[in-house]
Amino acid sequence: MKQHKARTTAPVNPLADEVRPGQSVELLKELHILTREGKLNQDSRRKLKQVYHLYQFIEKLLLELPQGGEGATLADHGAGKSYLGFIIYDLFFKSRTGGHIYGIETRPELVQKSRELATRLGFERMAFLNVSVAESTQSSDLPDQIDVVTALHACDTATDDAIDFGLKKQARYLVLVPCCQAEIARSLNANKALSLRRTPLAELWRHPLHTREMGSQITNVLRCLYLESCGYQVTVTELVGWEHSMKNELIIAKRTGKPNRAAVQRLHALLQEFGLTALLATRYAMAPAAEPELQPAPTA
């Protein structure tokens, strides 16, 4: 009688569809993305999906650097608990001999916890600075040039400070997910009465809810024009589905070194249209000056 051998099946990994190959489960537990039992809850699953999706964009940019990103430097602004920085290091930098990640965060308790976690995991090429994004530009703890600048949900003007940092550090790439854009909404609100008398376009931000939404939209449009005017090629896309986060706009800027004259003119024109020209001396100080429009030659 023919005997049949019992089939053996490999144990099923319940996280196979959730966690990227090579990802440290210990790290995910330390970040409280996984429970102590190695499970994911719904909130952690959503957070992990966002970070992984952003990592896919960043990994591609790192690989485009010289030597496939072997000696890359990355500054993560508004790092918080450094979910993004730790996962980038674990999936990309850990298997390489060079490169460095800098996490920049203002809350000292989060900086200290990140330092301790990096030490426990042996992530020796991670550093954490307890400074603001604006202060980091002048910090001697950072190199003069940074390859990649990231800012995931850096609130309000922290995203603008990250852009300023990237411009001054001649970053090859900036990866930004803006959040809570309030500065321009405040300016629109302060000048609302004057704007309503001057142009019917002001109806777009007459009501408080519309002021907030228009302020957010105008802010990101100006950021893109500013980057283009300073010599970057800009792509704007969604980070993840809107069901995961309302702050979903992903701005990726690649340095070309060639300022875009049309972007300069449009940046100045929009600031003029919305009564925001004061920002040229502060927020957009590194933008090239707009060239005066040529006047038609007088006819005989």
* pLDDT given at position 10: 45
Q: Which CATH number fits domain 25-180: 3.40.50.620, 3.40.50.300, 1.10.10.10, 3.40.50.150?
A: 3.40.50.150
Two structure tokens written together for 6: 């019992």
Q: What is the DSSP string of the chain?
A: ----PPP--PPP-TTTTTS-TT--HHHHHHTTSS-TTS---HHHHHHHHHHHHHHHHHHHHHHTSGGGGTT-EEEEET-TT-HHHHHHIIIIITTSSS-EEEEE-S-HHHHHHHHHHHHHHT-TTEEEE-S-HHHHTT-TTS-S--SEEEEEEEETTHHHHHHHHHHHTT-SEEEEEEE---HHHHHHHHTHHHHHHH-GGGGGGSSHHHHHHHHHHHHHHHHHHHHHHTTEEEEEEESS-TTT-S--EEEEEEE-S---HHHHHHHHHHHHHTT-GGGGGTTTTTSPPPPPPPPPPPP-
- Return the pLDDT at 139: 94
- Measured CA to CA, the distance from residue 89 to residue 71 in angstroms comes to 12
Angle, helix 208-229 to helix 183-190, in steps of 10 degrees? 120
> For the chain (length 300 residues), average pLDDT per consecutive 10?
53 63 90 85 82 92 96 96 95 95 97 96 97 93 97 89 96 94 90 86 91 93 97 92 64 96 96 91 91 58
Predicted model pTM? 0.88
126-129, strands of its sheet edge to edge: 126-129, 100-104, 73-77, 148-155, 173-179, 249-255, 232-238
Domain ranges of the chain: 25-180
**pLDDT (0 to 100) of residue 96:** 94
Question: How confident is the model at residue 12, as a pLDDT?
Answer: 44
| Maximum Cα interatomic distance, the chain, rounded to a whole number of Å | 113
Residue 253, strand partner residues: 174, 234
Rounded Cα distance, 148 and 65, in Å: 10
CB 249 within 8 A of CB 177: yes
* Residue 15 burial (C-beta neighbours within 10 Å; 0-12, 13-18, 19+): middle
Task: Encode burial over 32-62: b for 16+ CB neighbours within 10 A, e otherwise.
Answer: ebbeeeeebeeebeebbbbbbebbebbeebb
Q: Give the pLDDT score at 299.
A: 60
